[in-house]
Amino acid sequence: MPTEYLIWLIPLPPLLSFFLIVLFTNRNKALSHSVAIGAALLSWLGAMIVFVRALGIEHFGEHPFTQSIDWLPTGETWLKIGVLIDPLSATVLFFVAWTVLMIFLYSVGYHNFGQPKGDHDHPGLPPHGATEHGHMVPSIEPMYSRFFAFISLFAFGMLVLVVSDNLLTLFVGWEIMGLCSYLLIGFWYGKESAKKAAVKAFMTTRIGDVFMLLGIAFLYSVTGTLSFREIFTEDILHTLAIIPSGIFGLSAAGLIGLLLFIGTVGKSAQFPLHVWLPDAMEGPTPVSAMIHAATMVSAGVYAVLRMFPLISLDEKTMAIVAFIGAFTALFAATIAVAQNDIKRVLAYSTISQLGFMIAALGIHAYVAAAFHLVTHAFFKALLFLGSGSVIHGMEHGVLHSGKHIDPQNMFNMGGLRRKMPITFWTFLIGGFALSGFPLVTAGFWSKDEILADAFGHGHIYVFATLSVAAFLTAFYTMRQITLTFLGETRTEAAEHAHETPWTMTVPLVVLTVFAVTYGWVGIPEHFPVLGGLVPNWFHEFVGSTLAHHPEAVEFNVIPLLTSLFVALGGLGLGYLVYRNVHRPEDDKLQISVLKNKWYFDEIYDIIFIKPVTWFAENVVYKLMDQGLINGVLHLFGPATQGLGSIVRNYFDVPVINRFFGDGSADLTWWSGVKLRPLQAGRIQHYLILSLLILFIVGGLLYYFLLA
């Protein structure tokens, strides 16, 4: 089958899976997950075939797989939509397919397939145990099939976004994922916190989406097209760079780039629209892995990567991008060190790592950003799934012990390396990858490249900020690992935790393989010793996406040393500090500012939420809706009544009833009274009358007809 057709087909299996599960297989849990995983497998297969074929093509960047159809007639032209797989999207497709498949498989075990139904489980609330042979065991999720339906739809959205060749379908996939994030974060809709988190996520990303849509509209109005290949031609890019947009002194390209970037700020949870991501931990862990590692947040970075030729035209926009990226990286890292919930740490870690990628893009380090995107997807998904495995084991322990403690609080864990070895080792490798442990983890290679690019092109502030953030990253990662796995078990629940089933551990192992090996496809050429042994495939491949193939940065020892120092130093320090910390009171970094996320939620609440709520309740609801609209409506009743009675009293009764109705009767009566004497019964009178009329009529006839 020609590759283009295959590309069109890649997003379809998850969509079909969604509809099948929703319409037909909802009651049958086994059938539902089979359909979903089968669909994920099909998409994975299609993606792999496309990827392999793409690898085999010389100068793939100049001859990508692309096909488009005329879709929307716009006057004399057509708005085209289609598919495009160039090196960038081939790479992204690769990791999306793998991580999606792994997460789907993981979800089977996570939602306790095979376990009995809970004692008093209610759809909408997380399951809390069934009694089996006298003791409590984990119970199967009541809304099992629904979950698979939603993540299938999610996968569909992401795949549509990746394969699309134009901004419109990209935005469609974007929005579908936004919807699914709402559905999935609020999966346990019985929980108040989940509901709020879902709304928060949707609203915050929506803000970004509105600006993105403005950017798309502006772009369309200037260029008349939304297809990437048509926009990224010399002429159009040049035009966009020249036309002033009139706002902030930006050129058209700059403004469009800025608006599109704001969409990414929302979707990838950068400052200031980062507030939704930690709350999104309310969703089940596979969701967190999906949204915050593999797909949704990656979509934001992917969008910037995609539009890089456009965004990079204006230096002001790039400066803003770099600033926000670097700032967010550091900002989120400072919060992560004070979090106690195992998933929250990872959430802030994601925000921070995305900041790295965005900062890299801001300093024109295209390949480095793409590289870090891919490696991050693998190891972050690994870390989230690992944390889910930990929580799963902890929950089992909680049920066993009967005490209700928070299974996600790291201070309730400890010593889990013995209880859950596979989880431990995979989590460790993932954590090392996140910290940038040298040489053997993918994270090292990608992070190092970013730092090297920053230093090598003279962006010292970005370099410094990212270095500090990298240090903190390693620090809090080691803190997390120490508190969770090392040392002794701190609670009974941790004591009774045990390893999770194969459906959950196999994905962990697979992702670990990628977390280790993927870095080796991107070794810079001038790296001491190792550079040059294997060609820097990643740089060549992904770099060829751009018209002007970016140059690899010259090797400099300073960024290398810096990254070694921050990685190892952070890991070491984290271990040393936290191996003796067993209670939150002992943790010196539980500073309230950090713990409360720099009070941003509270600030937003005061500045935005409360006024808007007040406005909505008082102005819109009370004043406008109740007062104005209802008032107007309530006017209609009496007004119509008044009008009706006016019509009745001034028109109906006097005119219709009296004048016409009674009037005609009276007229008839009166004329009868007057005419009655004519019929006197006297023949002679009749005769005289008839003769008179005869004369009159005859005379008239005579004069008008005969004379």
Residues whose CB falls within 8 Å of the CB of residue 681, separated by 6 or more in sequence, listed in order? none
Q: Which is nearer to other proteins, 591 or 689 (CB)?
A: 689
Q: Which is nearer to other proteins, 547 or 680 (CB)?
A: 680
Q: How far is the CB of 672 from other proteins (least distance, A)?
A: 9
Closest of 625, 601, 598 to residue 196, by C-alpha: 601
Cα angle: 60, vertex 64, 65; to 5 degrees: 130
Contact (CB, 8 A) for 334 and 352:
no
SS3 211: helix
CA distance 162 to 156: 10
What DSSP state is assigned to residue 534? B
SS3 130: strand
Tokens for 1, please give them.
């089958």
Q: Which is nearer to other proteins, 548 or 676 (CB)?
A: 676
Q: Which is nearer to other proteins, 55 or 688 (CB)?
A: 688
What is the number of alpha carbons within 13 Å of residue 676 lying toward its C-beta? 6
Which residue, chain included where needed, has tokens 């999207």?
Answer: 89
Residues whose CB falls within 8 Å of the CB of residue 35, separated by 6 or more in sequence, listed in order? 17, 20, 21, 25, 148
Closest of 599, 494, 597, 40 to residue 281, by C-alpha: 597
Q: How far is the CB of 692 from other proteins (least distance, A)?
A: 7
Spell 626-636 as b/e; 16+ CB within 10 A means b. eeeeeeeeeee
The dihedral built from the CA positions of residue 578, 584, 590 and 594, taken in this order, carries a sign that is positive
Angle at which helices 87-110 and 144-163 pack, to 10 degrees? 180
Contact (CB, 8 A) for 322 and 459:
yes
Q: How far is the CB of 679 from other proteins (least distance, A)?
A: 5
Q: Which is nearer to other proteins, 647 or 692 (CB)?
A: 692
Q: How far is the CB of 704 from other proteins (least distance, A)?
A: 16
Q: How far is the CB of 703 from other proteins (least distance, A)?
A: 12
Which residue, chain included where needed, has tokens 């709402």?
Answer: 182
Contact (CB, 8 A) for 582 and 487:
yes
Contact (CB, 8 A) for 334 and 379:
no
SS3 79: strand
Distances (CA, A) of 223 to 230, 316, 567: 9, 21, 46
Q: How far is the CB of 665 from other proteins (least distance, A)?
A: 18
Which residue, chain included where needed, has tokens 């931990």?
Answer: 281
Q: Which is nearer to other proteins, 580 or 679 (CB)?
A: 679
Q: How far is the CB of 638 from other proteins (least distance, A)?
A: 53
H or E stretch including 30?
A: helix 29-55
Which residue, chain included where needed, has tokens 């992702």?
Answer: 511
Q: Which is nearer to other proteins, 580 or 684 (CB)?
A: 684
Contact (CB, 8 A) for 297 and 381:
no
Q: Which is nearer to other proteins, 529 or 673 (CB)?
A: 673
Q: How far is the CB of 707 from other proteins (least distance, A)?
A: 9
Q: Which is nearer to other proteins, 242 or 687 (CB)?
A: 687
Closest of 387, 378, 348, 505 to residue 441, by C-alpha: 378
Q: How far is the CB of 643 from other proteins (least distance, A)?
A: 47
Contact (CB, 8 A) for 484 and 490:
no
Q: Which is nearer to other proteins, 224 or 699 (CB)?
A: 699
Q: Which is nearer to other proteins, 603 or 667 (CB)?
A: 667
Q: How far is the CB of 689 from other proteins (least distance, A)?
A: 9
Q: Which is nearer to other proteins, 607 or 691 (CB)?
A: 691
Q: Which is nearer to other proteins, 23 or 678 (CB)?
A: 678
Interface with other proteins (CB under 8 A): 676, 679-685, 687-688, 691-692, 695, 698-699
Q: Which is nearer to other proteins, 639 or 701 (CB)?
A: 701
Q: Which is nearer to other proteins, 27 or 682 (CB)?
A: 682
Q: How far is the CB of 669 from other proteins (least distance, A)?
A: 13
SS3 570: helix
CA distance 50 to 316: 37
Task: Provide the pairing of β-strand 77-85 with 65-74.
Answer: antiparallel
Q: How far is the CB of 699 from other proteins (least distance, A)?
A: 8
Name the residue type at position 238: H
Closest of 288, 300, 338 to residue 204, by C-alpha: 300
Q: How far is the CB of 645 from other proteins (least distance, A)?
A: 43
Q: How far is the CB of 663 from other proteins (least distance, A)?
A: 23
Q: How far is the CB of 693 from other proteins (least distance, A)?
A: 11
What is the number of alpha carbons within 13 Å of residue 309 lying toward its C-beta? 22
